[in-house]
Structure 1
Amino acid sequence: MYLHLGFVLLLLISSNTYMTSNASSLSPITDENSHEFDVHFPPFILLGLIPNGNFEEPPQPPNLRKKVIIRGRYSLPKWEIHGLVEYISRGPQPGGFYFPVPRGDEASISQQLPLKPGSYYSLTFAATRTCAQDEVLGVKAGKGSADLTIKHCSVGVEGTFMDTSALVKVTFHNPGVQEDPACGPLLDAIAVKEILPLCHTKGNLVKNGDFEIGPYIFKNFSIGVLLPPHSLDAISPLPGWIVESLKPVKYIDSKHFFVPSGHAAIELVGGRESTTAQIIRTVPNKSYLLTFTIGDARNGCNGSMMVEAFAGKETIKVPLESQGKGDFKSASFKFEAISTRTRITFWSAFYHTKVHDYAYLCGPVLDDVKVVPI
């Protein structure tokens, strides 16, 4: 499956040496929710694609030799490159999904972003593997870094970082650990979004229980955004929630998936290895009512589903027979708080894949989580 944008960037094998790029070439993001501020440091990005974040601005023809970008580290507009990097247009390629690329040294691309010091930002990007093997994409933003394994044809990935200076360097690189060095991850559509503090919703002890506040979702396409586990991302890109499991959960939007209520929800795509939780304030020995909605994302994920929920010493198992048509149901149960902090936890009891794509993990949708005192 190819990404539905004009161009993608093929990263080969990345370099551990990073140089400083010229920040004067950056410009503020323009988006329907973005703003410009009169401040004494460079304009910072609140929401949207970073400069040339979808790679629609191609290298000049003299800087391309077929697909390979040549003639210096600044040949790709707004980006600094190291190693062997290819620029590939959308559409079918020779040999099907496999891109024949030459072997070479590690490759990376990086960009300096003018952001607001002391703020947290989420980084959303689309990545795709080029061969029938797991590929690794290294991501570094500010002081944070992670190596992400791309197991499926295409994924949207999310991460967070804190900006402690007016300029933050974002780098994507291929560490070159794949079996075939001629393969490498494809990268496209890179955006950032500031993570703002959350407030409680009146009548609900759960913050962001409807999942309406989350990472940036691209408007032209979406296959869902994978939210990494807490072990990889200490600050969650989904405010209020913790991804406690070994595997990510998926953030989905109502434009491209079925969502029980509102504009967004999460999909528990990894069985019991895909868990989300939140710690709420409670009064010991007081009773509370937890309600939530589960469903299917209308994305070809059929079969017998079950979501398990935990709060205090209580648990509930909620089954759902999915026909893949946007079915959903609500559930609730009472629990008694045993301390001033109570953890509410949700996971999928089973593992699921799409009916026509056994490599594509999917699962039940969770939405509208509420806790009220009784």
Structure 2
Amino acid sequence: CANCFTMIIWLIRLVWDHLLCILVCIGLLPNGNFKDGPAKSQLNGTVVMGRHSIPNWEISGFVEYIQSGHQQGGMVVAVPEGASAVRLGNDASIRQNIRVTRRAYYSITFSAARTCAQAEKLNVSVAADSGVLPVQTVYSSGGWDSYSWAFRAKHSAVWLAIHNPGAEEDPACGPVIDAIAIKTLQPPTKSKGNMLRNGDFEDGPYIFPDCPWGVLVPPMDEDSCSPLPGWMIMSSTKVVKYVDAPRYRVPHGARAVELVAGREAALVQEVATVAGRSYRLQFYVGDAANGCKESMVVEAYVAAASLKVQYQSQGTGGYRRAMLDFVAVGNLTRVVFQSLHYHMKVDGTLCGPVVDDISLVSVRKRAARRLLM
């Protein structure tokens, strides 16, 4: 019957959409590393001439196709990943239409390098959702970093856009973009015996397999969708770094967070509590075995209580467990972590203490604050 045929076609399309989503929602986007570039006839030097000249991408404004080793003003322009990338000049953007699942959460990871602009930033957007990512501070010795941003899909096909809102005298003074990937995020849930969501940081943005510098999680407010499910980053321009066990020393599991911006960025989560009830917060503080050799202090704030945890880092990995007992003063309690100081490696790049495996539980009675050795 006609209705049966229509239903079969609908089911085939639904299955096909889900298969496309599985293919595209873990790892690089199609031509996400810009390995396939424009035809020579579509280039004026490095400037891309046609709107659809880069396979799988649509461009607007002053966009350059940069090869590894490209020089500008006697300086080599950093290409974040592989052999090629794009540079976004004044008011330039790149975008791609991607298949997703409605109402699902996704994180975008991409590598970026600043060039000669004074205050470089990027606007990442999907439909009406957007976020401005500061790329002025460099956190890796290679001159580029990987950034993350997240969104919740409102449709099964969406346009992902990365836009440079800058306006420099030299339109070539814009950030270089490369290696754009996507990952499906799980809705943040509480694990058994822990009131916090994603307290062990096992769910987070995609980390490139050959990436030795982790992924930066940018500032976001209470209404933003987080690439680190359950957590907010409270700051004006600074970030925290998401690191993994294959390349860093992680106290627990496979993922952790490195506080690389001192007091300028805070890792925050709000949790439902009962006023007057006693709770216990526990967490690891350590170093990522990345050569950050300094005396570190992490301060945890919760309700009216706080705890400073000192850790003497040798830069080779290690950690200690801390515990803070407190009494809730309201029905919503904010858990906050900050590094009290800036730290820097011998190569001049920022680093900091690692926090991991954060748990919050209700206890029967109030106890004194303690620090476990």
Q: For this structure pair, what is the TM-score category when the shorter chain's length is used for normalisation?
A: 0.7 to 0.9
TM-score (norm 2): 0.82
Q: Where do 1:254-293 residues align within 5 Å?
A: 254-293=245-284
Q: Aligned partners of 1:344 and 1:104: how far apart in 2? A: 40
Q: Where do 1:1-374 residues align within 5 Å?
A: 38=15, 43-44=20-21, 45-70=24-49, 72-91=50-69, 93=71, 95-98=74-77, 106-131=91-116, 133-151=118-136, 152=138, 153-178=143-168, 180-231=170-221, 234-246=224-236, 247-357=238-348, 360-374=349-363
Show CA shifts across 1:180-209 (max 9, x none): 433221100111122222332112222211
Change in CA separation of 1:40 and 1:265 when aligned onto 2, cut-off 3 Å: closer
Q: Aligned partners of 1:252 and 1:104: how far apart in 2? A: 30
Per-residue deviation at 1:66? Answer: 4.0
Q: Aligned partners of 1:61 and 1:102: how far apart in 2? A: 17
Q: Aligned partners of 1:368 and 1:239: how far apart in 2? A: 14
Partner of 2:5: none
Change in CA separation of 1:343 and 1:365 when aligned onto 2, cut-off 3 Å: same
Partner of 2:3: none
Report which stretch shifted further, 235-244 or 171-180.
171-180
Partner of 1:26: none
Residue 38 of structure 1 aligns to a residue whose secondary structure is: helix
Q: Aligned partners of 1:179 and 1:68: how far apart in 2? A: 17
Contact 2:61–2:92, Cα closer than 8 Å, also in 1 = yes
Q: Aligned partners of 1:279 and 1:232: how far apart in 2? A: 9
Per-residue deviation at 1:320? Answer: 1.2
Structure with bigger helix share is 2
Per-residue deviation at 1:136? Answer: 2.6
Residue 51 of structure 1 aligns to a residue whose secondary structure is: coil
Q: Aligned partners of 2:90 and 2:307: how far apart in 1? A: 53
Gaps of 5+ in 1: 1-35
Among the aligned pairs, what percent are the same residue?
A: 45
Change in CA separation of 1:209 and 1:105 when aligned onto 2, cut-off 3 Å: closer
TM-score (norm 1): 0.81
Show CA shifts across 1:13-60 (max 9, x none): xxxxxxxxxxxxxxxxxxxxxxx9715688324322111111112223
Per-residue deviation at 1:175? Answer: 2.3
Q: Aligned partners of 2:286 and 2:292: how far apart in 1? A: 10
Show CA shifts across 1:212-260 (max 9, x none): 0111111121422121222397111111112123322111111222211
Q: Aligned partners of 1:58 and 1:232: how far apart in 2? A: 39
Give RMSD over aligned pairs.
Answer: 2.7
Q: Aligned partners of 2:269 and 2:186: how far apart in 1? A: 17
Per-residue deviation at 1:86? Answer: 2.0
Show CA shifts across 1:126-158 (max 9, x none): 100123744232322221223333222212111
Q: Aligned partners of 1:132 and 1:325: how far apart in 2? A: 36
Q: Aligned partners of 2:311 and 2:345: how far apart in 1? A: 16
Per-residue deviation at 1:179? Answer: 6.1
Matched residue type, 2:253 = G
Per-residue deviation at 1:352? Answer: 1.8
Contact 1:69–1:87, Cα closer than 8 Å, also in 2 = yes
Per-residue deviation at 1:354? Answer: 2.2
Q: Aligned partners of 2:162 and 2:270: how far apart in 1? A: 33
Change in CA separation of 1:260 and 1:42 when aligned onto 2, cut-off 3 Å: closer
Contact 2:90–2:168, Cα closer than 8 Å, also in 1 = no
Matched residue type, 1:88 = I
Contact 2:61–2:93, Cα closer than 8 Å, also in 1 = yes
Per-residue deviation at 1:84? Answer: 2.8
